[in-house]
A and B are shown apart, each in its own frame.
Chain A
Amino acid sequence: MALFPVTGRFVGDFVPHLVAVDTEDTMDVLAEKVAVHSVGRRIPVPDPHPGYEVLLADAPVPAATTVGELGLQPLQWLDVRFRGHA
């Protein structure tokens, strides 16, 4: 377990954020940590909420994958979007 900094962009927001995640975090947890800086602040919360998905280099990452398994460099860019968003 170790803190790890990523560049997290919520798709639709105008700016990505410095987000501290944990190497044990799954993509579901990472998505929440990225989304909290955008959704409900500049991006409306959808009703019903479809949940989130994470993309690395435009490719969706399975929800159960952990940050440590991705082999990221510090501050590497990850996208988070509402599930089902094309």
Chain B
Amino acid sequence: MLLTRDDWYELSRDVDWELDHVDRATAFPANWTGADGIPEQAWDAWEEPFRVSYRDYVRLQREKESGVKAVSQALVRSGTYEKLDPGHVAASHLHMGTTCMVEYMAVTMQSRMCRFAPTPRWRSLGVFGMLDETRHTQLDLRFSHDLLKHDPRFDWAQKAFHTNEWGVLAVKNFFDDIMLSADCVEAAMATSLTVEHGFTNIQFVALAADAMAAGDINWSNLLSSIQTDEARHAQLGFPTLQVLMEHDPQRAQQALDVAFWRSTRLFQTLTGPAMDYYTPVDQRKMSFKEFMLEWIVNHHERILEDYGLAKPWYWDRFLLSLENGHHAMHLGTWFWRPTLFWKPNAGVSKAEREWLREKYPTWEDNWGVLWDEVIANVNAGRMDKTLPETLPSLCNLTQLPLGSAYSRHELAPHQLTYGGRLYSFDSEVSQWVFELDPERYAGHRTVVDRFIGGEIQPMSLEGGLLWMGLTPDVMGDDVYQYAWAREYAALVETEAGALAGVPVAGE
């Protein structure tokens, strides 16, 4: 009689080696497993919820792949890409350039779990995670390759992580830290539980909804397909947290608190501008803040409560950052637009500002007044004043600009001296993370560190752009060629007399 899956599943999944020629600590070093201080038998309680066999996995993944490919082939032939709003298209450039190689880094992380995770159950399931992430990398590359003939920016799906583009360096720094350098237990807390279970929802659910509304069915379909995998393999984090809570709850709290803050800051950069500025206003489903509160904050609070953990000490600061951080990143990226490989939409036309005011009551006072000066310069033809002449100061933890965590009203110095040099931080929270393990972060040099160290030559914005690999064919500029500013020019004309040479809406 043929055995059912339940008859053999656990035996198959739990197969382990009896080690004769090396001791266990040599084969599974604690700095790779992350199991230091946790008794070996504690991992017997590690129970995964999804119970999938290799045969089931292959069948399901094959079906998913067929679905994505069929949609993709039909849509590439139908010419839908050419009809998309250019503001929305910029979001896909940003996503592909900053995410594709993160998927590939996740292959390495999952393969480390296959080899070094402290229980054979986890090692077996790591195989599926590794195959998932390989599929995601390939999906992004295929999508981008199909569209390369329309725009060289899709080349950055593969190229970005081989450049020094500042935003990419910030993304790479984070994932180097939590995927490639972290032990299995920390990677499960930071990547599986925090990034994959929580924050990928915003990239793969929220952005997928916006993409669908914008008519980008191909990209939306790809994002949704990826999310089905993320939702499954992210579950690795829960049994790991369960074990950690029994034996080292303080470590669990700290790992989650660090990962939650760093993830917040990263997704304020990657997804916030795309949702609240690049997506055409009539096609936005939710604001970035609304989505974060419903999908990320609620999820995270529930996990903390279910496992007996406290909210992070910085919760009030996090909520303040949620109101502001992505607006700062958006103004910053738009102002430093030559340093981007996509074309940002300013997203501050009158109709868009009305939407921003409704979603973020403090937006005008925190951000609108700064945009007003930019708009005045655009309309007066002073384009040099809408462009940077130096670098923003950068955080030695997140690698993001100082000032990009909150609004201008909260901007304050967070600096400390360690090992004879001064380090700067975008917030008291990032400084706290650094101080937990300064040796880990002290050697991570920001673009500013490299600039003043003489690595960027000539020492000018032009030298910086060259060093970042930004060529004229991909270099960022306003995606609508500043057309959105003209309605304000008409207002200025009415209020203060004619502005010579300034076109107004309708001309």
Contact = CB atoms under 8 A, between A and B. Distances in A.
Asked if chains A and B come from one complex, the reply is yes
Interface of A: 5, 7, 9, 12-20, 36-37, 40-44, 73-77
Contacts of B388: 37
Contacts of B331: 14, 42
Contact of B332 (A15, A74, A75): A15
A8 to B, nearest CB: 8
Nearest to A6: B393
Given A75-B422, A75-B424, A41 B373 contact: yes
B373 A18 contact: no
Interface of B: 328, 331-332, 335, 367, 370, 372-374, 376-377, 385-386, 388-393, 401-404, 407-408, 411, 413, 415, 417, 421-422, 424, 448, 451-452
Nearest to B407: A14
Given A41-B374, A77-B413, A18 B448 contact: yes
B392 A16 contact: yes
B227 to A, nearest CB: 33
Contacts of A73: 417, 421-422
B390 A18 contact: yes
A19 B390 contact: yes
A9 B377 contact: no
A86 B452 CA distance: 33
Contacts of B385: 40-41
Given A18-B448, A41-B385, 6 more contacts: A9-B413, A13-B408, A14-B403, A41-B374, A41-B386, A42-B331
- Dominant secondary structure of chain B at its interface with chain A: mixed
B391 A18 contact: yes
A7 B393 contact: yes
A77 B415 contact: yes
Contacts of A13: 370, 403, 408, 411
Contacts of A7: 393, 402, 413, 415, 424
29 contacts: A9-B411, A13-B408, A14-B328, A14-B332, A14-B370, A14-B403, A15-B332, A15-B393, A15-B403, A15-B411, A16-B411, A17-B390, A17-B392, A18-B451, A19-B390, A20-B390, A37-B390, A40-B373, A40-B377, A41-B373, A42-B335, A42-B374, A43-B373, A44-B372, A44-B376, A73-B417, A75-B393, A75-B422, A75-B424
A60 B282 CA distance: 48
Given A14-B411, A15-B328, A42 B392 contact: no
Contacts of A43: 370, 373
A17 B413 contact: no
Contacts of A12: 408
A14 B370 CA distance: 8
Residue from B377, B388, B393, B404 whose CB has the most chain A CB atoms within 10 Å: B393
Contacts of A20: 390
B408 A16 contact: no
A41 B392 contact: no
Nearest to B408: A14
A7 B403 CA distance: 12
Contacts of B328: 14-15
B401 A15 contact: yes
B459 to A, nearest CB: 8
Contacts of B390: 17-20, 37
A74 B335 CA distance: 25
Given A40-B385, A73-B422, A77-B413, A15 B373 contact: no
Nearest to A77: B413
A18 B393 CA distance: 5
